[in-house]
A and B are shown apart, each in its own frame.
Chain A
Amino acid sequence: DAGVIQSPRHEVTEMGQEVTLRCKPISGHDYLFWYRQTMMRGLELLIYFNNNVPIDDSGMPEDRFSAKMPNASFSTLKIQPSEPRDSAVYFCASSLAVADPYNEQFFGPGTRLTVL
């Protein structure tokens, strides 16, 4: 298995531009998570999906951020318009939904976003 795949690995853009980050979860996994990691705030959960349905988006910073999961094998995180404070590493993770209590999350390699 190739693991969780994220693209692009690096993105440099200018303030005000739209940014789209992409994720392909591990085949068969039911949960998909988007995290943001910065030195200031550590690793934060932005949103997660179960069977393509958003379950909790309370971590999404503001309306500039949106996430979709049109099918079981693809998700996007979009920032429009982007701002310098959005600069971070964005991780996608996926996990299986099985019995209690918890299934490990498998993380992708991350996308390093720099907004100038």
Chain B
Amino acid sequence: GESVGLHLPTLSVQEGDNSIINCAYSNSASDYFIWYKQESGKGPQFIIDIRSNMDKRQGQRVTVLLNKTVKHLSLQIAATQPGDSAVYFCAERVGGYQKVTFGTGTKLQVIP
């Protein structure tokens, strides 16, 4: 078994506030980035994606920002709700049509 595990960074926010989840990537050749959400006991679920030639993309209540200069990606969730509580992963496509590499994840806790 495992005695030491990854320490997931945790973000705690009040219900109704905005959340910002950050992700650093390392490969400057990555051409595509994706955010996934994983609720407890479930598989990851696609949220939003962005091409490397874009800086910003908006979805329903979510916005992804990409800063290629510092290799940084963020996910903004507006008016955070209890149902947003989950682990959020950023993923990058380093090469290959469908293969992506996932980051370590951030746990979002919404305080009612």
In the assembled complex, the Cα of A24 lies from the Cα of B111 at a distance in Å of 37
Which single member of A41, A43, A50 contacts B44 (CB below 8 Å)?
Answer: A43
In the assembled complex, the Cα of A103 lies from the Cα of B49 at a distance in Å of 10
- A42 with B104: CB separation less than 8 A: yes
Near A by CB (< 8 A), chain B positions 87-111 give 89, 93, 96-105
Q: Which of B2-10, B56-64, B68-76 contacts A (4 or more CB under 8 A)?
A: B2-10
Interface code B1-33, partner A: CB below 8 Å = 1, 0 otherwise?
110111000000000000000000000000110
Interface size band for A: 20 to 34
Chain B residues lying within 8 Å of A91, measured Cβ to Cβ, are 43-44
- Taking the closest CB of chain A, its distance from the CB of B101, in whole angstroms, is 7
Chain B interface, number of residues (Cβ within 8 angstroms):
28
B: which residues have CB within 8 A of A?
1-2, 4-6, 31-32, 34, 41-46, 49, 51, 89, 93, 96-105
A: which residues have CB within 8 A of B?
4, 31, 33, 38-45, 48, 50, 55-56, 84-85, 87, 91, 93, 95, 97, 101-110
